[in-house]
Chain A
Amino acid sequence: MTKDDIKQIVLDIIAEIAPDEDLSDVKPEVRLRDQLELDSMDFLDIVMELRKQYGIEVPEADYPELASLDSCANYLEPKFAALGTKA
């Protein structure tokens, strides 16, 4: 899974959680909170969807890693890779 795939996965989850947000122009390097109206509950829901849809656990201490699309991709890439080897 490439980093771009992972960014798309995160965007798809945000689209589900926040259907009223315009996601056409999200800048990967900018904090999600600075360009979208997301609050702490929304981030928890992103974590929950990652767990539900892909079995990926994000411990509380790592939440800051989900700040931007780029940081999400960097942080989640090894986790998705690990899933691939398990399967």
Chain B
Amino acid sequence: MAERYDSIIIGAGFAGLAAGIRLAQFQERVLILESHFIPGGLNSYYFRGGKDKLFNTGLHTVTNFNAKNRRWGFGLICRNLGIPASEFSLVPPSRPSLIEVPGAGLDFNNDLDVLRGSIAERFPAEVEAFDRFCTDMSQLEDVQRLYGIGSRTWLEEYFRDPVLMDLLELPVYIYGGYSEKQIDAATFSTVFRSIFLEGCSSPPDIKHILDLLIKRFKSLGGELKMRKRVARIDCEGGAFRAVELADGTRIEADRCLSSAGLCETGQLAGEVWGRTCPLSVFETVVSVNAPMTDLQADYTLQLISEQERFDWKAPDERGAFDHLTLAASAFYDFAEEPHAKHFKIGCFQKGELWLGLDEETYQREKNHLEERLLQVLLARYPGLRDVEAEHCESLTPRTVVTYTSHLNGGIYGGAEKTFDGTTAVQDLFIIGNDQGGIGIMGALTSGVVVSNFQVILKSART
């Protein structure tokens, strides 16, 4: 007899764990299958040089910090998962952050007035438009229309200055640009609101939140199996039946929620779904042990475009970069100064250019880009020049593919989303990045919302 579950979830990233918790509150048998031996997916962790030396992959910032309303953002997540907000141990940044395009820059932090003041100084004629934009954003009128238009079209309904629009788009695309050129205005507004209106934060490390989610999932009777890769999704008469693991085990369930991605899930089911996005990421992390006061860093995040006119796409050449993200992970209000301070610098790359290289070329290209990024990092955080790096390491599109199985090393999912989470196969749903749940909070929200609307409410009605 094959094993049978109420729900199977593919992936123990943020979307999968959130869906698992939500479903385990209502169902007897919920199973999460994860191919890696560490949870977290795109925002995971690893150790280098000892059990106390943890490195986060990703984790520049956790958004929606001040969203306490139970129907949205962090508030919605806490309430639906049954985890008090305080247990996430999130603290706000201790420094402002910077958005920069050639010739212009804006500061922001969790107080919207900082961004507003920055805009008032540089673009006085646009402040009124900015206020209107922010007000409209928190009570969106016609979301359906916004799904159908690009973010620039929408911004042009408010603003006139193209440089300001570049500055407002840059951070949103860096933290959610799931397709080249334009993303839809609805997703844009969600990410904008999450960063600027609700504010940023950080936990001590990402493992803290992952452990919290897993503990909650298990306390509800959920089962989590690591190192179990789903190799095939078995459908019958247009409906989901079972998954087949790489080791040949077949597991049946009433439904399946997949965070593997829309294209990736399609492949598992023998279907062609969605469209991959060429954008992947290269990121270098440097760890230093100097006291914070020696590091003289002004900004928690620095989001930079080197393009004259903002144009969201990965450079055609491997190793070239147009957009940079710098993150100083220690510059949050932690009760205790973290021992190791991690500084990250990332840029966007065409994933495919980093896949299928011979080992020698790969290492050479990796070292080359790493060196160039380190130069920028030192220029941007000059205090780092005088301290010794304890560790330095880079993540490439190949790393992303190896540890998350996302095609092209995509970090915000494919260029096509299924916003309601449904697929052409009955009882097979998409959660996470490819449902439109982008980022850590976005993925958590996606796991909750798809479980609520596609599973829990539906089964209550039948």
Binding site for B on A (CB under 8 A): 17-20, 39-41, 44, 48, 60, 63
The CA of A20 and the CA of B461, in the complex, are separated in Å by 27
Q: Of B25, B71, B461, B462, which one neighbours A48 at CB under 8 angstroms?
A: B25
Inter-chain CB contacts under 8 Å: number: 22
Q: Would B25 and A20 count as touching, CB distance under 8 A?
A: no
Q: Of A39, A48, A60, which one neighbours B26 at CB under 8 angstroms?
A: A48
Q: Of B25, B70, B456, B457, which one neighbours A19 at CB under 8 angstroms?
A: B70
- Residue numbers in B under 8 Å from A39 (CB-CB): 71
- Residue numbers in A under 8 Å from B452 (CB-CB): 41
Q: Would B69 and A44 count as touching, CB distance under 8 A?
A: no
- Residue numbers in B under 8 Å from A44 (CB-CB): 26, 456-457, 460
Shortest A37–chain B CB gap in Å is 8
* With contact pairs A41-B452, A44-B456 given, residues A60 and B25 touching in the complex (Cβ less than 8 Å): no
- Closest residue on chain A to residue B456 by CB atoms: A44
For A41, A44, A48, A63, which residue has the most chain B Cβ atoms within 10 angstroms?
A41
Q: Would A60 and B70 count as touching, CB distance under 8 A?
A: no
* With contact pairs A18-B70, A19-B70 given, residues A60 and B79 touching in the complex (Cβ less than 8 Å): no
- Residue numbers in B under 8 Å from A60 (CB-CB): 460-462
- Residue numbers in B under 8 Å from A48 (CB-CB): 25-26
The CA of A41 and the CA of B71, in the complex, are separated in Å by 10
Which 5 A-B pairs rank lowest in CB-CB distance, beginning with the nearest?
Answer: A60-B460, A41-B452, A44-B460, A40-B457, A48-B25
Shortest A40–chain B CB gap in Å is 6
The CA of A40 and the CA of B71, in the complex, are separated in Å by 12
Shortest B7–chain A CB gap in Å is 16
The CA of A85 and the CA of B99, in the complex, are separated in Å by 66
Shortest A24–chain B CB gap in Å is 19
- Closest residue on chain A to residue B453 by CB atoms: A41
- Residue numbers in A under 8 Å from B71 (CB-CB): 39
The CA of A39 and the CA of B462, in the complex, are separated in Å by 18
Q: Would A20 and B457 count as touching, CB distance under 8 A?
A: no
Q: Of B26, B70, B462, which one neighbours A20 at CB under 8 angstroms?
A: B70
- Residue numbers in A under 8 Å from B456 (CB-CB): 41, 44
- Residue numbers in A under 8 Å from B68 (CB-CB): 20
The CA of A44 and the CA of B26, in the complex, are separated in Å by 10
- Residue numbers in A under 8 Å from B457 (CB-CB): 40-41, 44
Shortest B460–chain A CB gap in Å is 5
What are 6 A-B contacts defined by CB distance under 8 Å? A19-B70, A20-B70, A41-B457, A44-B460, A48-B26, A60-B460
- Closest residue on chain A to residue B26 by CB atoms: A48
Q: Would B460 and A20 count as touching, CB distance under 8 A?
A: no
Shortest A47–chain B CB gap in Å is 8
Shortest A63–chain B CB gap in Å is 8
- Closest residue on chain A to residue B452 by CB atoms: A41
The CA of A20 and the CA of B78, in the complex, are separated in Å by 13
Shortest B318–chain A CB gap in Å is 47
The CA of A4 and the CA of B37, in the complex, are separated in Å by 52
Shortest B457–chain A CB gap in Å is 6
* Chain B residues numbered 146-184 whose CB sits less than 8 Å from any CB in chain A: none
- Residue numbers in A under 8 Å from B26 (CB-CB): 44, 48
Shortest B219–chain A CB gap in Å is 12
